[in-house]
Amino acid sequence: TAHGRRLLQQRWTDHEFGVMRRLHHAGVRVPYPVAFAEDLFDMEYIGDLDGAAPQLYAARLGPDQLATAFDQVVDGLAAIPRAGWAHGDLSAYNLLWWQDEVWFIDFPQAVDIAANPQGLSYLPRDVVNVCRWFTQKGHEVDGEELFADMLAHAL
C-alpha cells in the first residue's frame, strides 16, 4: 500500500540519518546530517555555488591526488567499522571528491557489524570494491591484502 511504502521510506531515511550522525560524531568525513522527515533527508552541501562535489569516479585526479584520495579512503575504511558500521555498498560512486578531500556518502544500506550476524562480511567487500577502482585508475593496490593488513592492525 502507499502507507506501507511511506513507512518503509521513513524507516530507510531514519536509518541513514542515524548512521551518518554516528559516523559524523566519530570523526568520519561524511556530510553533516541536518534533519529528515518522511522522504526528505537534509544534509550538509558539499560543493560551491557552481555545483556539487563530483563523485570520486567522475573526478579528474592526477597521480598525487589519486594517492591522497586513496589514503583518505583507507582512513575512512578503518574509521567506519571502529564506529560500529560497514557501509555495505562502498564504491567510487559513494565517495565525493571536494577540495582534495574524500567524503563518504550513501549509507541507507549500512550494516551494524555487531547486531547483524553477517555484518563483518560486508567489510572486505567494501575494501575490495574501492581498491579495484583505484587499481583501474593506476594506483596499484591489492584489496584483499589491504583488508588483511587492516584486520591485523585492528587486533
Residues carrying an active site annotation: 89, 106
Conformational region of residue 114, where left means phi above 0, alpha means psi within -120 to 50, and beta covers everything else: alpha
State how far the Cα of 56 lies from the Cα of 37, in Å rounded to an integer: 28
Residues 6+ apart with CB under 8 A from 92: 55, 56, 57, 130, 133
- Residue 117 has phi, psi (to 5 degrees) of -60, -25
Q: What is the number of alpha carbons within 13 Å of residue 126 lying toward its C-beta?
A: 28
Overall residue count recorded for the chain in this entry: 155
Distance, CA of 31 to CA of 14 (rounded, Å): 15
